Amino acid sequence: MATVQVSEAEKVYIMHGVRDDLRVDGRGCEDYRHMEIETDVVSNTDGSAKVTLGHTAILVGIKAEIGKPRPMVADEGFLEFFVDCSANATPEFEGRGGDELGTELSNTLYKVFNNRNSIDLRTLCISPGEHCWVLYIDVLLLQCDGNLFDAISVAVKAALFNTRIPKVHISEDEEGGKEIELSDDPYDCMRLNVENVPCIVTLCKVGHRHVVDATLLEKACSEGGRGSLDPESIFEMTETGKRVGKALHAPLMEVLQKEESLGKKRQKVGFLG
Amino acid sequence: MSPMKLCVPGERLCSTEDCIPGTGTYLRHGYIFASLAGYVLRKNEGEELPMISVVRETEAQLLPDVGAIVTCKVTSINPRFAKVHILYVGSTPLKDRFRGTIRKEDVRATEKDKVETYKSFRPGDIVLAKVISLGDVQSNYLLTTAENELGVVVAHSEAGVQMVPISWCEMQCPRTHAKEFRKVARVQPEYLQA
Amino acid sequence: MPVDTKRVRGPDESQSPLIFLPKSAQKVVPKEGREDGRQRGQTDVRPVFARCGLVSQAKGSAYIEAGNTKLMCSVYGPREIERKDETDMKSGRLFCDFRFAPFSCQKRGAWIQGSEEKDFSLALLESLRPGVCLHKYPRSQIEVNVMVLENDGSVLAHAVTCASLALADAGIEMYDLVLGCSLRQDGATYLIDPTFPEESGSCVADNAENQGSVTVALLPSLNQVSGLQSDGEMGEETLVDAVRACIEGCHKLYPVVQQALIKSVRRKAPPPEN
């Protein structure tokens, strides 16, 4: 990923700022940068969202396809994540350069969604053991300016909120064969409950305090994900993470609902906004 | 003598007020910690405090460092530099292969502009050299032979016989008596045990 | 190859018959206590057997066995770095490769590295890196290869311990050893150092809260946590308690690891003369 060099003087300046709860760009320790969210940006998808956080820009597209449920959990659909680090974001991602980061990000997403309450996978089941919806969640990094994890999780959540899965019903003929029938009405859709879809909160320990949504400069001041922490600060950080996550979640849901209530009147911003 | 104390990495050995940290140790918050698994060795060397170090069966893996004398084998030459493989650091053999470069300018101390690499080295020669830099992204270790004691120590003639040095810049084949040019090292007697 | 049309060919994809067992025939993890006699909610890790120096070609190696989980690790290097970039000039680089032997799990795995293995490799790297004095090895790379021979739960945790043993055995300078410990949270209670059925099976009724697992990597004498992996869902307090329990579990491993290392130093050479 894009890296920056910091001098000792800069480091001291940033660390002292963090100590006094005033960061270089004027934020407090637990503030996010300016975030913009727009849903339904790609018409070919079943759900999509674009999120910008500072200069980080993420585009998520979700496509629903009918597949076969996993044998271990016959009555559930499943999610597939793929994170593409395109060379648009930084030239280092060219060729196979972004693969490592991409796997790391998608593995994190699998882990975050690997529990019962994030999303009810049973709603994705069409007929147990035979058919289910598979949601292919493709994440595209358009610009990297730090804090990819948080931005991606918000974008995935917004895109899931926006996802509309066509309603199907199964009819059985005389011989017992099953047929899947798609509803004729394009507005007859199923929505997902995203109330519990998690947001990732990344914390970065700078000096003796930790900051939310670190810029690349601040990240360079901490160990940059390579260090170790004493147990007490881990506990402090989980507490902060929980608090910040809750504070992030409420306005996010509000914004998403508000955007949807605008309906067709909504002015589309797109990519040049 | 009591059996020697053993330690593992991360073990606190003593305070800096009691000892000076030696090899295989590191300092943290005024204490000396072990960074290797091995025997704890305290040595009094006439100074106020004894030196504490951790030693293992073999010397810890040495890496070529700036200023180290290395023994290397020439693998290829071109008009600008000779490429070598570093075989030994001091008297410790390296387990893995490290590559180095002797540039034309670093072959000898005087008349640098008149140096011709193929009159100084040939592929296969064993050369004593000194590390001057770890090099950057593109280059390998940079080595120099610009001292009297540094240069070719073992070379074979075209007839395949080991040659004898006859001056600082020539060696002779004992069978054909043909002379060949080399940047010859005046080998220090203490290196000649082998 | 010509296809034999007379033969009924099997399906393209095959599944282990074990998953089609009726629920009653499946092995159920007991709700009280644990199958191997350990207690829930206590930090009684499985007894560990560890030994260094079994791969003679490697610079350092280690083998670790905890219950039926068996894995080995070998360390090569420091050697000249192959892929160079600017950041490697001042300090060395650590490479970790984590693999399951194809026969190590219930289901046969492939020889090529899967995404779970890549994930574990990364977690292993991040857990080990703070423990190694990489600045002492400029322009060099150190390779750590872990092979799981038998997977009976908590593989990542034991891989961390095993790899740090192998690094120390190789004589790589380290700030501290790195020890790993896993925990499976099951509602209000936890199972430390879980076996494979305990790790993967859901132990109590569905929809129960606090189902998850935690793996901690600890630098024991510096008291620093170098790796923390958490999966599933847990309340904040539960997570804090789980991490504390893991740290306690790591400390229980420390004497065994220390002994294994000291034994290998002693076997390699007699004490030096003063």
For A134-177, write each residue's pLDDT tens digit. 999 999 998 888 889 999 999 999 999 999 998 888 887 777 77
Residue C4 within a domain:
no
C264 Cβ under 8 Å from any chain B Cβ? yes
Show residues of chain C in contact with B37, CB under 8 Å: 168-169, 171, 261-262, 264-265
CA pair distance C174, C160, nearest whole angstrom: 14
Q: How far apart are CA A28 and CA A209, in angstroms?
A: 11
| C235 in contact with A, Cβ within 8 Å | no
Query: Which candidate in C59, C88, C91, C175 is best for mutational testing of the B interface (most B CBs within 10 A)?
Result: C175
Confidence of residue B10 (pLDDT cuts 50, 70, 90): very high
Q: What CA–CA distance (Å, rounded) separates B21 from B14?
A: 9
**Are the beta carbons of B57 and C59 separated by less than 8 Å?**
no
Residue numbers of B between 7 and 26 with CB closer than 8 Å to C: 8-12, 24, 26
Residue-level pLDDT at A182:
81
pLDDT averaged over every residue in chain B: 85
Chain C contact set for A229 (CB, 8 A): 224-226
Q: Do B33 and C175 touch (CB under 8 A)?
A: yes
| Reported ipTM exceeds the 0.85 cut | no
Q: For residues A230 and C125, what is the distance between their CA atoms, to the nearest angstrom?
A: 18
- The superfamily in CATH containing domain A16-261 is GHMP Kinase, N-terminal domain (3.30.230.70)
C224–A228 C-beta distance less than 8 A: yes
Beta carbons within 10 angstroms of residue B92's beta carbon = 13
Question: C78 preceded by cis ω (within 30°)?
Answer: yes
- Beta strand B6-7 with B38-43: parallel, antiparallel or unpaired? antiparallel
Helices (H) and strands (E) in chain B, counts: 0, 16
H/E/C letters for each residue in C127-173?
A: HHHHHECHHHCCCEEEEEEEEEEECCCCHHHHHHHHHHHHHHHCCCC
pLDDT digits (tens, 9 = 90+) for B126-167: 999 999 988 777 778 899 999 888 999 999 988 888 998 888
Count of domains observed in chain C: 1
DSSP-based three-state secondary structure for C88: helix
CA separation (Å) from C88 to B66, B133, C125, C126, C138?
17, 15, 16, 17, 7
Whether residue C18 lies inside any domain: the answer is no
Task: Kindly determine whether residue C225 and residue A227, on different chains, have CB atoms separated by under 8 Å.
Answer: no
| Tens-place pLDDT, residues B113-134 | 888 888 899 999 999 999 998 8
pLDDT class of C258 with cuts at 50, 70, 90: very high
Name the residue ranges covered by the structural domains of chain A: 16-261
Residue numbers in A near C228 (CB within 8 A): 234
Chains B and A lie in contact, requiring 3 or more CB pairs less than 8 Å apart:
no
Q: Which domains does chain B have, with CATH numbers?
A: 6-55 (2.40.50.100), 69-187 (2.40.50.140)
- Residue B160 is given by DSSP the state S
> Cα–Cα distance between B30 and A267 in angstroms, integer?
63
Minimal CA separation from B89 to chain C, in Å: 14
Among C227, C204, C196, CA closest to C214: C227
Prediction pTM value? 0.85
Cβ contacts of C129 on chain A, cutoff 8 Å: 226
The answer to whether C31 touches C203, Cβ cutoff 8 Å, is yes
Let me know if residue C14 belongs to a domain: no
Chains B, C: CB contacts under 8 A, how many? 106
Let me know if A129 is exposed, middle or buried by CB neighbors in 10 A (0-12, 13-18, 19+). exposed
Q: Is C227 helix (H, G, I), strand (E, B) or coil?
A: strand
Q: Which residues, 6 or more positions from B173, have their beta carbon under 8 angstroms from its beta carbon?
A: B157, B158, B159, B161, B163, B179, B180
pLDDT at residue B159 in the model: 85
Instruction: Select from A135, A156, A137 the least CA-distant residue to A58.
Output: A156
Domain limits for position C239: 37-81+90-268
Q: Are A127 and A133 in contact (CB under 8 A)?
A: no
Asked if residue C2 belongs to a domain, the reply is no
Q: What is the largest CA-CA distance in chain A?
A: 80
- Give B100→chain C minimum CA distance, Å: 11
